[in-house]
Amino acid sequence: MVQPDGFELLVVHDDRPVSWAVLQLLRDEAFAAAQGVLRWHAVDAGAVDCTRAGALRNHPVVAAVRASAHGHPRVVMNLLDDDRVDLIETDPEVAAGRNVTAAHELAAVAAELGAYVVQLSSVFVFPLAPQRDATGAPRPFEATEPVGPASVYGMMKARAEDIARAGDAPATIVRTGLVYGGPAYGGAGEPGKDLVGFLAEKFRQGGVTFAPQDQVVSTSYAIDVAAGLLRVAQARQPGTVHLVNEGQVGRAEFAAAIAAAVGAPGTVVRAMPAERYAQAAPRGSFAVLGTDTWRAGGNRPLPSWRDALQRAIAEDTTPPQL
């Protein structure tokens, strides 16, 4: 899958876990070089009005990349992902700039640069009803299956996928699910961008949390996703892949595993039916991603969700061998 030539990387990032992790790995010069990264540039969307046409295309960093001439392949990696799913359900405009407008801008930038596009997406593009195997049991959504988002956030991510595919630059869509990792933050009892870090600290302080007992998901440690994204950028094979840790887990079970990892009793997690869990955006009961296309590219699977969780709790940012 991986091509031998190095490339120049333009990363457009936010303050979410995947962006944090990609920047962490790029700052490791030896690791970045091993992934074929000859040089890299970063645009922080936090300092850009992504709702304004031309804001990203005319950014000074983008202009500098456009003006340089070196003959190496270029990759534009769009990591923008406003995933405040429930807020977006009732107020879509808060996320339209980063989730949709930016995809238009960066597709145009990539075409101008003769670059390849890596577009971050989400399990939320799939329908609420799970796929089923021959026995009637739910099975993971594979990358080649049709999308059908039920939430506003999912519709935005599906639209961004379409924009990337329809652009004049070749692209890989990379979907993830329940991403975590990076510095925890939060106030007034609100969860931070790193869900695992937030819950771990809450449990250490004796707090409790409620979690759906009937929602099964894929989880994704951001460091592992970032390693996969850099491999995708190096390979530059158009299509769609899913980057999630191996295995599947219930939301309540995942919360209980976080509690166990920090030595808290299982009673700190209060499992309850999803229908009683106050969420504005609809969520499926089986939001699990299959990794057939990732494996077909000759890649190793990402580590198991349990292994990834333990590493995240230990703040281990060592990337996996893929």
CATH number at residue 254: 3.40.50.720
How far is residue 151 from each of residues 56, 197, 316, measured CA to CA in Å? Answer: 27, 26, 33
Question: What pLDDT does 52 receive?
Answer: 87
Task: State yes or no: pLDDT of 307 exceeds 50.
Answer: yes
Task: State yes or no: pLDDT of 193 exceeds 80.
Answer: no
Question: How many domains does the chain fold into?
Answer: 1
Q: Mind listing the pLDDT tens digit for each residue in 267-283?
A: 899 999 988 877 899 99
Residue 70, in any domain of the structure: yes
- Please give the average per-residue pLDDT across 211-235, as a whole number: 97
Tokens matching residue 170: 């070749």
- Count, in order, helices (H) and strands (E) of the chain: 12, 15
Task: State yes or no: pLDDT of 189 exceeds 50.
Answer: no
Question: What pLDDT does 182 receive?
Answer: 84
The helix or strand, by DSSP H or E, that contains position 141, with its residue range, turns out to be: none
Question: What pLDDT does 3 receive?
Answer: 55
CB 177 within 8 A of CB 287: yes
- The DSSP output letter for 186 is -
Q: Mind listing the pLDDT tens digit for each residue in 6-55?
A: 999 999 999 899 999 999 999 999 999 999 999 999 999 988 998 888 99
As a whole number of angstroms, the distance between CA 40 and CA 316 comes to 24
Mean pLDDT of the chain: 93
Residue 144, in any domain of the structure: yes
As a whole number of angstroms, the distance between CA 103 and CA 119 comes to 8
Question: What pLDDT does 4 receive?
Answer: 52
- Residue bearing tokens 């457009």: 12
- Which DSSP string do the residues of 35-50 spell out, in sequence order? TTEEEEEEEEGGGS-T
**Mutual orientation of helices 102-113 and 60-67 as an angle, nearest 10°?**
20
Residue 320, in any domain of the structure: no
Look at the pTM and tell me if it is higher than 0.75: yes
Question: What pLDDT does 185 receive?
Answer: 44
How confident is residue 186, by pLDDT bands cut at 50, 70 and 90?
very low
Task: State yes or no: pLDDT of 231 exceeds 50.
Answer: yes
If DSSP codes are grouped into helix, strand and coil, which group holds residue 155? helix
Question: What pLDDT does 122 receive?
Answer: 98
Contacts of 179 (CB under 8 A, 6+ apart): 16, 17, 18, 83, 219, 220, 221, 222, 225
CB 236 within 8 A of CB 3: yes
Task: State yes or no: pLDDT of 244 exceeds 70.
Answer: yes
Tokens matching residue 211: 């979690």
> Which residue range is the domain that position 155 belongs to?
7-313
* Closest to 167 in 3D by CA, of 242, 105, 229, 100: 105
Question: What pLDDT does 260 receive?
Answer: 96
Residue 303, in any domain of the structure: yes
Tokens matching residue 304: 């198991």
Residue 279, in any domain of the structure: yes
- Please give the average per-residue pLDDT across 316-322, as a whole number: 94
How confident is residue 213, by pLDDT bands cut at 50, 70 and 90?
very high
How confident is residue 258, by pLDDT bands cut at 50, 70 and 90?
very high
Tokens matching residue 259: 């509690």
Residue 148, in any domain of the structure: yes
Q: Mind listing the pLDDT tens digit for each residue in 60-80?
A: 999 999 988 788 999 999 999
Question: What pLDDT does 155 receive?
Answer: 98
If DSSP codes are grouped into helix, strand and coil, which group holds residue 34? helix
- Please give the average per-residue pLDDT across 84-97, as a whole number: 95
- Please give the average per-residue pLDDT across 123-144, as a whole number: 96
Residue 319, in any domain of the structure: no
Tokens matching residue 250: 């219930």
- Please give the average per-residue pLDDT across 135-160, as a whole number: 97
CB 235 within 8 A of CB 297: yes
Task: State yes or no: pLDDT of 84 exceeds 60.
Answer: yes
CB hemisphere CA count around 123 (13 angstroms): 28
As a whole number of angstroms, the distance between CA 179 and CA 17 comes to 7
Residue 218, in any domain of the structure: yes
CB 68 within 8 A of CB 17: no
- Partners of 172 in the β-ladder: 118, 239
Question: What pLDDT does 214 receive?
Answer: 93
Percent above pLDDT 90 for the chain: 84
Contacts of 175 (CB under 8 A, 6+ apart): 121, 122, 123, 125, 143, 240, 241, 242, 243, 289
Instruction: Classify each residue of 126-146 as buried b or exposed e, where b means 16 or more C-beta atoms within 10 Å of its C-beta.
Output: beeebbeeeeeebebbebeee
Tokens matching residue 313: 């709790």
